Structure 1
């Protein structure tokens, strides 16, 4: 009988060792031993971020990485994004890819992640903190400059223009507005209004309606994203005015509007590539490979001349 109890004791001990060994494996492993990458976006409710999500998931499928993509219902829900980020980090992924809505708010969480040796990669919007792996995205100031130049090329010196900002504190849209304003003023345009619309189509329509009540002679509008540009367009069309509207992002709806002769143009980013490269570089970081500290994803200027080709590409990645 003593021998039987002794054998059972050894069996229990061995089981404990196996369990401990299993729990001490790489926390970054996902299903079936795959590496895992958490992608936290500004929102999942707009076409632009759906392209980012599509790119991230395509990279996961191609590279054998388990990819989780989350984001709040709206870009203005900054605290919700912080909560989502904390939740993803608590699940111990191999790396985290983040598009911060309000960088200064999320930096403390990112710094804590870096201290725990978790690779942190930023896409679309940069943030200043020590230890980040890389930033992948458009130089937003440059995108804004190009948008301002495009709008100015369609107007006359002295024409009145409007700038529609994104959510307050969103460094990406702030930089675009700053770049556009610089180009427009350098070309002799007069900025008569600059107001935020929280990257929301309906809000932008309302904001533009109010602006037009005092400035019916506006000739052009630069919007920090396409959803707002389309909202502005609704207000303009309702008044029957001829106002050139330029957006930013290059979404499918915006490109279709350009082809229909409505939106004057958009400065297209590469959201699909941002998502794809974000996951790709995250995997490289997990493996300890060296990565450039800044990767420019570039911009495309979309007008009626090249909108058809852009739309075909967008439809191909939306399937």
Structure 2
């Protein structure tokens, strides 16, 4: 009898331990890991793509949208939502696409932390997620398609140091708080100028041109000795250029993105430089990653999109 009881207790212990281990294993999954789960193959033209773009009020993200549509095998199987820089709207749009059972989600987050809940919802629904330009703070992501924003910030810093020399006083226009691009571009730039150039003011302008204008107007009034401005995107830089022109001040302005209006401003000298990305290429790479996934190919957890520092001098002969 005692022997039978011992056997029974042992079986129960093993069963309980197995359950605990299974629970721990499930809890340990996460982060930007595409996982090794078997993928049900699907013809590219049949893959239903749902995309959420942070804002289509910015030419950069309009180009991302164009890249998605251009790379799609059948645009009838692509639906793209404009989140209008609203985290709640983006969440609702993604939930709608999950309910419609899209095959894959391409997300350009408004906020890297706020998007995490939506990414987890997609994970629970078995829908792979691809993020573009900005990451998600948690949840499983098949891949992140972006430029190296930290490296881009360093490129901007090196140019500004060469242009202004050491001990110059500058300001920094920051993007949307919480966005990975804001953190990474800022870190790359600030670490590179530390001890070489003084950042006398840092202020958010939400990646928006109108806000870039009004924030720069205030900065120039409060710090009339500013010699340069690093803007974390071209839209804010264009607003800053307008403010500097209105105040009749000569300020070295460096943007980030390489959007069409930004490149024009660099060419005519209103901006000194921009760290140029390739947004259309980002959109295309995201779609190609989705198709590769459904063709059973391994997708890298990070897909880099190239960067190039474009200056007024480099555009003179173009």
For the residue of structure 2 that corresponds to 1:228, the secondary structure is helix
Corresponding residue of 1:43: 55
Q: Pick from 66, 78, 81 the counterpart of residue 70 of structure 1.
A: 81
Which of 79, 99, 108 does residue 117 from structure 2 map onto? Answer: 108
Which residue in 2 is equivalent to 1:214? 222
Q: Determine if the alignment matches structure 1 residue 59 to structure 2 residue 68.
A: no
Cα distance change on mapping 1:104 and 1:184 into 2, 3 Å: same
Q: Out of 80, 97, 100, which is 1:91 matched to?
A: 100
> Which portions of structure 1, spanning 4 or more consecutive aligned residues, are displaced by more than 4 angstroms?
none
* Distance in 1 of aligned mates of 2:156 and 2:101: 40
Deviation string, structure 1 residues 210-248 (Cα, Å, up to 9, x no partner): 111121111100001100000011111111111100000
Which residue is equivalent to 2:240? 232
Note if 1:259 corresponds to 2:271.
no
The verdict on how the C-alpha distance between 1:137 and 1:58 changes in structure 2, with shifts beyond 3 A counting, is same
CA contact (8 A) 2:71 2:287 kept: yes
Aligned with 1:147 (options 156, 175, 180): 156
Mapped to 1, the partners of 2:82 and 2:151 lie a distance apart of: 26
Cα RMSD between the aligned structures? 2.1
How far 1:304 moved relative to its partner?
2.0
Inter-partner Cα distance in structure 1 for 2:80 and 2:316: 30
Q: Which residue of 2 aligns with 1:287?
A: 295
Retained in 2: the 8 A contact 1:94–1:286? no
**Offset at residue 131 of structure 1 (A):** 2.8
Cα contact 2:116–2:138 (8 A) shared by 1: yes
* Number of the residue aligned with 1:277: 285
* Superposition TM-score, scaled by structure 2 size: 0.82
Deviation at 1:137, TM superposition (A): 0.6
**186, 190, 194: which is aligned to 1:177?**
186
1: distance between equivalents of 2:191 and 2:177? 19
Decide whether aligned partners of structure 1 residues 41 and 308 sit closer, same or farther in structure 2, where only a CA change above 3 A counts.
Answer: farther
The residue aligned with 1:9 is none
- 2-structure distance, mates of 1:29, 1:93: 14
**Distance in 2 separating the partners of 1:208 and 1:218:** 10
Q: Report whether the alignment pairs 1:123 with 2:135.
A: no
- Tell me, in whole angstroms, the C-alpha distance in 2 between the residues paired with 1:136 and 1:105: 19
Q: CA deviation at 1:29?
A: 9.1
2:182–2:232 CA contact under 8 A, matched in 1: yes
- Equivalent residues, number: 278
TM-fit CA distance, 1:171: 1.9
1:80 aligns with 2:92: no
**In 1, distance between residues paired with 2:300 and 2:279?**
19
| 2:33 match | none
Q: TM-score, normalised by structure 1?
A: 0.82
Structure 2: gaps spanning 5 or more residues: 1-39
Closer, same or farther in 2 for the Cα pair 1:297/1:223, shift >3 Å?
Answer: same
- SS of structure 1 residue aligned to 2:113: helix
